[in-house]
Amino acid sequence: LQARFDQEIAAAADLAALDGVRVAALGKSGEITQLLKSLGKMDADTRTAEAPKIHSLREAVTDAIAAKKAALEGAELERRLATERLDLSLPSAEAPRGSIHPVSQVMDELTEIFADLGFSVAEGPEIEDDWHNFSALNIPETHPARAMQDTFYMDEKGEDGAPMVLRTHTSPVQIRTMQKKQPPIRIIAPGRVYRSDSDATHTPMFHQIEGLVIDKAITLGHLKWTLETFLKAFFERDDVVLRMRPSYFPFTEPSAEVDVGWSMEKGRRVVGGSEGWMEVLGSGMVHPKVIAACGLDPDEWQGFAFGTGVDRLAMLKYGMDDLRAFFDGDLRWMKHYGFRF
Ligand code: PHE
């Protein structure tokens, strides 16, 4: 029996064949296993005679299988070493790389520009209560601006008993900052805002950046200088021209809409010069009622605020034409416009 197993083991060409031999000999119903079981049925003398033989057979076959297994594995390794080569001089396969979304890129650019001007970043919740989003900003219950802003309402009610809203602008961060901090205040607040509006230039979610400065002797002149400095730095051109038009926001008085001049370059409209104008932001001097609503004395503190669309700034700077493409998640678009890091 040993000779037969030795021969079968020697003949096994691969690990699978060898395992077949192992099962046939030592498996649950293998031949050697059967022999071991038969020991129980023998009388004492026969068992004394047979047991050592069967045990040594089992040991010999077990060892032979282990030796063959090692040999087969060694051969397999040799074969792979001989056939598989790693050429370290070959160029590596290109792994897909992420890129920075243009909105994130522009938010970073804006944050850096304003950091240089001494502004820090403030944040507020995207699900906002009615008071912070509207009332404290001097937008009363009946004000048409509430309808104007196409608000998404939540089922939940806020502390004031009114339904919570998805914030329609970043201006509530003005309120939260003034409630929390003693002036002087110099903050920007970039973030997501929501309005139920959708076409080529409007998406239900978009991004704004708010600016707020509160101090003792802040004037419209400071506002204009800040906006001019920021827009020149952002568009990286010295010929950026601003035009401030009187406007109305409930939370600023006086209020101004700010246009930036454009001109045609290589058949494309670019920011700079003044062949035409386009609106880029809303701004004004913070309304005394807003300052008072935050618990500050409007006779002591005053300042300016502005708000602008980050996505629109990105489109203008990088020549993109459909706002919706920003949020489609189309990797081809991302590859084209995304920023490598
Ligand atoms: N919150 C205004 C908007 O969303 C923008 C704005 C901010 C205007 C601050 C004036 C001052 O349109």
To test the pocket of ligand 1, the residue of 195, 208, 249 to mutate (highest count of ligand atoms within 8 Å of its CB) is 249
Ligand 1 centroid to 283 CA: how many Å? Answer: 6
Nearest CA to ligand 1 atom 10: 283
In this predicted model, which residue has the larger pLDDT, 233 or 51? 233
To test the pocket of ligand 1, the residue of 133, 139, 169, 255 to mutate (highest count of ligand atoms within 8 Å of its CB) is 169
Note the pLDDT tens digit of each residue in 124-154: 999 999 999 999 999 988 777 677 668 899 9
**How many CA atoms are closer than 13 Å to the CA of 312, on its beta-carbon side?**
17
Atom of ligand 1 nearest to the CA of 304: 11
To test the pocket of ligand 1, the residue of 134, 209, 214, 251 to mutate (highest count of ligand atoms within 8 Å of its CB) is 251
Give the Cα separation of 25 and 30 in Å (integer).
4
To test the pocket of ligand 1, the residue of 128, 171, 311 to mutate (highest count of ligand atoms within 8 Å of its CB) is 171
CA proximity to 166, closest of 128, 218, 112: 128
What residues does ligand 1 touch, defined as CB less than 6 Å away?
Answer: 169, 171, 210, 249, 252, 282-284, 305-307
Give the Cα separation of 9 and 3 in Å (integer).
10
Note the pLDDT tens digit of each residue in 289-333: 999 999 999 999 999 999 999 999 999 998 888 888 888 888 888
Nearest CA to ligand 1 atom 7: 307
What pLDDT shows up at residue 335?
82
Q: What is the mean predicted confidence (pLDDT) over 156-183?
A: 95
Q: What is the mean predicted confidence (pLDDT) over 258-285?
A: 94
Atom of ligand 1 nearest to the CA of 308: 5
Ligand 1 centroid to 313 CA: how many Å? Answer: 15
What pLDDT shows up at residue 96?
75
Nearest CA to ligand 1 atom 2: 307
Atom of ligand 1 nearest to the CA of 208: 4
Atom of ligand 1 nearest to the CA of 171: 1
Residues 6+ apart with CB under 8 A from 202: 195, 323
The number of beta carbons lying within 10 Å of the beta carbon of residue 177 is: 22
Q: Residue 341 above 70 pLDDT?
A: no
Residue 326's identity, in one-letter code, is F
CA distances from 324 to 119, 200, 312 (A): 30, 6, 11
Nearest CA to ligand 1 atom 9: 306
Q: What is the mean predicted confidence (pLDDT) over 198-212?
A: 90
The alpha carbon of residue 168 and the mean position of all alpha carbons in its chain are separated, in whole angstroms, by: 22
The number of beta carbons lying within 10 Å of the beta carbon of residue 6 is: 14
Does the predicted interface ipTM exceed a cut of 0.85? yes
Ligand 1 centroid to 98 CA: how many Å? Answer: 33
Ligand 1 centroid to 306 CA: how many Å? Answer: 6
What pLDDT shows up at residue 145?
66
- Residue 253 annotated as lining a ligand binding site: yes
In this predicted model, which residue has the larger pLDDT, 293 or 47? 293
The alpha carbon of residue 261 and the mean position of all alpha carbons in its chain are separated, in whole angstroms, by: 34
Atom of ligand 1 nearest to the CA of 174: 9
